[in-house]
Structure 1
């Protein structure tokens, strides 16, 4: 039926009824997106019009995002379109720019989700900014100083490696815009300094022309621990592996303490979506697949042993069982990610 809709074919009444029944059949998803018996008919028809309108641009986007030829039409209909419409409703409800936090680890599709939502929302007339916690990494110089103070911070990414004050400043400017005044958006270039990366300069640093935006309606702010909160230190008395040594436990406890500094930043979020992987061990497998593909194309990549050490470093910093799993109880929306990276179960917080 969806393949008929995208080419503009008229559906028989019984087919419309089937689409309505399917939309209501997944009770959790229907509840998450506000679909009821009373509004399902209107919802299906409005979504069908939107599907037909954005599908040509969507297929072009898929050609850029995906190397495989998987048909993403079903995901577009069941997850991405309803989610975009849901964001529009929330934006209208708050009456100001809406900040949507998106938490997801390696391979969960944060970039894909943001790109697809931006496409749909722009078609609906909503100016959308896709921004990452990575863009708030401290400058190369500041991170060198940070490593001297704490040699355990061998990788950028854990709590303490971001400029939280800058993040709050930017989100405040986006949430409460001044008419006619643009907002400077910091970006992080991971290719600088031989891969160590550095923040693209802000205007006061007089080095490059910064990215500026204005009149943003919806901000998609994504990152691997967006919304994560400090936990009771007692959890580190018997933590899950790879937190095994005394040094590991101390590191985990220190990262837990540093999360406190991020709470004012999270207060700027209007909503949090968790891209949840029930088996967090998949992130290792996904990272290895990505590195193998890079190596196959002649690009440099990490060995499997290096990937294991890299991924486990972040598990030691903020273990998924300790910091991500609790968020599915409180997040506004939870989208489970399947082993093939595609969205599965969708539900509002438990």
Structure 2
């Protein structure tokens, strides 16, 4: 197990001190998920919620590898982000419903039927069955061609689904919806059409999709301000990974414009699309999540606070 942890830390360019996080937070959580699976014959589905930059992708990776390789439980994972509608599909929604639907992220910009199909295939798969897992290229703001999707072989006893709005609840009242939370809502959704449509999605198909979770894990960010700072850092990492400034002897994939890398101002506007649901989830989800992990401003994880379902 130690070698697996070291390998993952190196692979993800994490500090050596992340081994302490694995010991304090991730291993107890993996043990909890192992116990959940042992108590049930059918595959289990685990939702992992966390605002942008909380570290949910890294947490999911470690859980998947530890459960698969050391608890001997076949575990598959994918992100709600990988279910984003294609850019062409979002352009159509922007034209037919509201211009803000061009921006990926909020409920109404995912292909949940695709996600359900993946879950159903993973649950029903046999030993040699291959299930293609959707993948979205954020640097180009479009889905990868299916030929480039990763493939999971066999059946999965645990399915991990992570995403920023995983498990989110709809707003409680029309009055709450109609009060803008930021300048984007105030100036670009004056009549509330976009946010009412987003909320309707949460009440309907998203609520039904999330209801199949056997457990909901929440990574709780300390504040919305931290989320903005972390998302800015994510974009910088995306820039570093996807694009290298042209110079002699260096290959580069495309211009920053072609790769849709966002400026600081664009990131701030982008986050406004997420703000309403993020703030609401930070307020109400800790009381109902099956496990809450507090995330510090320095990205440190607290011990998992696990609630046993009745």
Question: TM-score, normalised on structure 1?
Answer: 0.73
User: Would you say the 8 A contact 1:84–1:117 is kept in 2?
Assistant: yes
Q: In structure 2, how many angstroms separate the alpha carbons of the residues matched to 1:328 and 1:248? A: 31
Tell me, yes or no, if the aligned pair for 1:106 and 1:283 is still in contact at 8 Å: yes
The separation in 2 between residues aligned to 1:334 and 1:131, in whole angstroms, is 20
Q: Please list the CA deviations of residues 153-196 of structure 1 after superposition, one character each: whole Å capped at 9, or x if unmatched.
A: 12112111111122223223333x254572533412316xx713
Alpha-carbon distance, 1:105 to partner: 1.8
Change (3 A) 1:256 1:174: same
Distance 1:286 1:229 in 2: 23
TM-score when normalising by structure 2: 0.82
Q: Which aligned pairs between 1:1-350 and structure 2 lie closer than 5 A?
A: 54-67=1-14, 69-122=15-68, 123-150=70-97, 151-175=99-123, 177=124, 179=126, 182=129, 184-190=131-137, 195-201=140-146, 211-232=151-172, 233-242=174-183, 243-245=185-187, 247=190, 249-259=192-202, 260-292=204-236, 298=244, 300=256, 301-315=261-275, 318-348=276-306
Q: Is the 8 A contact 2:235 2:262 kept in 1?
A: yes
Structure 2 spans left out of the alignment, 5+ residues: 246-255
For 1:16, the equivalent position in structure 2 comes to none
Distance, in Å, in 2 between the alignment partners of 1:304 and 1:210 is: 31
- What's the secondary structure of 1:343's corresponding residue? coil
Separation (CA, whole Å) in 1 of partners of 2:198 and 2:81? 17
Quote the Cα distance in structure 2 between the aligned partners of 1:74 and 1:214.
32
**Partner Cα separation in structure 1 for residue 238 and residue 110 of structure 2:** 28
Note the alpha carbon deviations across 1:8-27, whole angstroms, 9 max, x for none: xxxxxxxxxxxxxxxxxxxx
State whether residues 135 and 188 of structure 1, in contact with CA within 8 Å, keep that contact through their aligned partners in structure 2. Answer: yes
Could you tell me whether the CA contact under 8 Å between 2:135 and 2:143 is conserved in 1? yes
In structure 2, what is the Cα distance between the partners aligned to 1:324 and 1:184? 34
For 1:117 and 1:165, locate their aligned partners in 2 and report how far apart those are by CA, in whole Å. Answer: 25
User: Residue 137 of structure 1 contacts residue 199 of structure 1 at CA under 8 Å; is this kept in 2?
Assistant: no
SS at 2:279 equivalent = helix
Q: Could you say what the CA RMSD is over the residues aligned between the two structures, in angstroms? A: 2.6
Structure 1: how far apart are the matches of 2:263 and 2:19? 35
Where does structure 1 lack aligned partners over 5 or more consecutive residues? 1-53, 202-206
> Once the 2 structures are TM-superposed, how far is the Cα of residue 135 of structure 1 from its aligned partner?
2.0
CA–CA distance in structure 2, aligned partners of residues 293 and 212 of structure 1: 27
1:93-120 CA-to-partner distances (Å, cap 9, x unmatched) read 1212111110112111111101111221
* Counterpart position of 1:33: none
Cα deviation, residue 74, structure 1: 1.9
Aligned residues: 286
Contact kept? 1:135, 1:199, Cα under 8 Å: no
Q: 1:303 to 1:222 in 2, by over 3 A?
A: same
**CA distance in structure 1 between the partners assigned to 2:190 and 2:306 by the alignment:** 37
Cα distance in structure 1, aligned partners of 2:151 and 2:102: 29
Higher RCO (Cα < 8 Å, 6 or more apart): 2
**Inter-CA distance 141–132: structure 2 relative to 1 (3 Å threshold):** same
